[in-house]
Amino acid sequence: MIRENSLRLWALLAGTILFMALMPQRGHAAGFVQRNLASDIPGLADFTDPNLVNPWGIAVSPFWLCNYGTATYNVNTLDGAPTAVVTTVPPAPGRTGTGRCTGAVRNSNNAAFQVSPGVNGTWLLSTEDGLITIRQGANNIIKVDNSAAGAVYKGLALRNSPDFIYAPNFNSGAIEVYDGNWTRVSLSSSTFTDPAVPAGFAPFNIQNIGGKLYVAYAKQDDAKRDDVGGVGNGYVAVFDTEGNLLQHLISNGPLNSPWGLAIAPADFGEFSNALLVGNFRDGRINAFNASTGQFLGTMNDPSGRPIVNIGLWALQIGLGGNGGDPTKIYFTAGIPGLGGGVQSHGLFGHLSAAGTVGAPPAVNVSGIVNNANYAAGTNAVAPGSIAAIFGTNLTEGSSCLPPSCNPTFDNGTPRRLRAFMSGAQVTINNALVPVPIFYASTTQLGIQIPTDLIGTAATVQVTVAGQPSTSRTVNIDAFAPGIFTLSSDGRGPGAITHPDGTLVSATSPAQQGEVVSIYATGLGQVTPAVLTGALPSGTVTTVTRPTVTIDGLPAEVQFSG
């Protein structure tokens, strides 16, 4: 019997990994590294969260994410895991469809912004429908409703003691202020006015950073509801909490519908203490001197490539504890993907300074082979099979090798092997979603070839700490059978077991007529089909049953799957 069973292999696979004493070379200090914590796209991040569609604002602590695409306001842990705390965002009264949340803030004063007299409120939202809400249980209660007037709130900021919330109305171009009793505050015509911002631009977002209100402006479309992208379409001004202009900080330059605003941590590499401004339209983060507005540069990865998350929204420094690592910047983005456009999917992650990084990963020439027999050639690997990648600097310096370290699964349905291990990710044909990783060392990775891969060749690229390798090409065939072995060279005794699960060996040989299990990979497509990295929900069999010979004699194959 032939059975392809990856999960039972790991006790046997320890011998198939080449343990080499090559350590990654240490290199330079530059750039930033992105870690994807959660996404609605399975396999793209450490956790799958179906609610995470076009997430906008972040309120902390813990991480409350408002998801425009699913009308939810929910809690994710600091490592991205979704929780059972999910609330519903309401639409404007009299309107069909779902609510569309944008800004999110936390109130720390129990005496202000109450749900009702004597009922404290903590978590606030603004929506594009002109609403401001407060969370109560599984719902968000409408406390301010300017939907009939056409208000379009794109963000939200809060001040405690005294207590005010600030809502940028993209339609009217004004920043509206409400006190702790939900009453609108009358403002003079000069309040929250920056004469350096021309007509046609309106406040797109507002953030309270260190007691100052930073306002990002974007260009209005004709309906004054959505922004118009374009390089230079943006301004940033700074006001005090009374609405007095303190400084016109940034004009045009690399701004392109800026929304995310944050002051970087003091130990954030080349952009320490800089004002970080995230562009919604091109997904880039640009750094500016927080005092003068001087442009300092664009956030790049260690290889010098701009870090891009199209549909970028919030930037939030970690606050410590369940509010995140204070050396990191957390972000949300309404990314495209799987055939959908911008804002059709979502991503929650963090960015950190690369520090001193090693030399970039390098994949050996002909270094992508069948993980069972290490055989390269015209039929090197098959869709769905396990492949080995040989090279140098393939992890950030650590290893995850069986039996002491094993692959883990995400929380999605179906559950899938994670695609991030020891700082390494692997993409095939520049796909959006990286492939699952079974094990990792500095010189060898074990990956699964996507089950739906088509074609006769594919490009493979390893990325470690933001640094990509040169792409290598591997040949693909519908079948690339290989029997796992117990040696470190792919040529020793086969991984074959008796019916009781014990190994077939010289001291415990197979008997004539005995049914044994042979562990193999590359046997072709299975039915029913199984998603890449996923556990099968039941018994699966290979579409094509292989032939097996023992010393040249045909053996009866009772099962193959």
CATH number at residue 421: 2.60.40.10
pLDDT of residue 465: 84
pLDDT of residue 376: 62
Domain check: are 305 and 381 in the same one?
A: no
- Name the 3-class secondary structure at 343: coil
CA 63 to chain centre: 15
pLDDT of residue 5: 42
Residue where a domain terminates, one of 357, 388, 408: 357
pLDDT of residue 4: 37
Which domain, by its residues, includes 531?
Answer: 1-25+360-561
65 close to 74: Cβ distance less than 8 angstroms = yes
Tell me the C-alpha distance between 346 and 344, whole Å: 7
**Assigned token pair, 530:** 């199984």
The helices-and-strands tally (H runs, E runs) of the chain is 1, 42
Tens-digit pLDDT profile for the chain (561 aa)?
233 344 344 333 333 333 222 333 434 447 999 999 999 999 999 999 999 999 999 999 999 999 999 999 999 999 999 999 999 999 999 998 999 999 999 999 999 999 999 999 999 999 999 999 999 999 999 999 999 999 999 999 999 999 999 999 999 999 999 999 999 999 888 899 999 999 999 999 999 999 999 999 999 999 999 999 999 999 999 999 999 999 999 999 999 999 999 999 999 999 999 999 999 999 999 999 999 999 999 999 998 999 999 999 999 999 999 999 999 999 999 999 999 999 999 999 999 998 766 789 999 999 999 999 887 655 689 999 999 999 999 998 999 998 899 898 888 888 889 999 999 999 999 999 999 999 999 999 999 999 999 999 999 999 998 889 999 999 999 999 999 988 766 678 899 999 999 999 999 999 999 999 999 999 999 999 999 999 888 899 999 999 999 999 999 999 998
HSE, side-chain direction, 13 A CA sphere, residue 413: 2
Domain check: are 353 and 393 in the same one?
A: no
Domain check: are 12 and 34 in the same one?
A: no
Domain check: are 369 and 517 in the same one?
A: yes
Q: What is the CATH number of the domain that holds 155?
A: 2.120.10.30
Residue where a domain terminates, one of 297, 327, 357: 357
- Name the 3-class secondary structure at 12: helix
pLDDT of residue 342: 98
Domain check: are 336 and 419 in the same one?
A: no
Domain check: are 453 and 343 in the same one?
A: no
pLDDT of residue 188: 87
Residue where a domain terminates, one of 304, 326, 357: 357
Report in angstroms the alpha-carbon separations of 150 from 29, 128, 164. Answer: 49, 9, 22
pLDDT of residue 8: 41
> Residues in the chain, how many?
561
Domain check: are 236 and 319 in the same one?
A: yes
Tally of domains in the chain: 2
pLDDT of residue 378: 59
Residues 6+ apart with CB under 8 A from 552: none
pLDDT of residue 189: 83
Q: What's the distance, Cα to Cα, between the start and end of the chain in Å?
A: 9
Domain check: are 401 and 349 in the same one?
A: no
CA angle 134, 57, 278 (to 5 degrees): 155
485 close to 372: Cβ distance less than 8 angstroms = yes
**Assigned token pair, 509:** 């040989």
Domain check: are 295 and 386 in the same one?
A: no
Domain check: are 261 and 365 in the same one?
A: no
Residue 13 DSSP class: H
Domain check: are 424 and 510 in the same one?
A: yes
**Assigned token pair, 203:** 């406040």
pLDDT of residue 16: 32
Tell me the C-alpha distance between 303 and 308, whole Å: 14
Domain check: are 259 and 303 in the same one?
A: yes
pLDDT of residue 488: 61
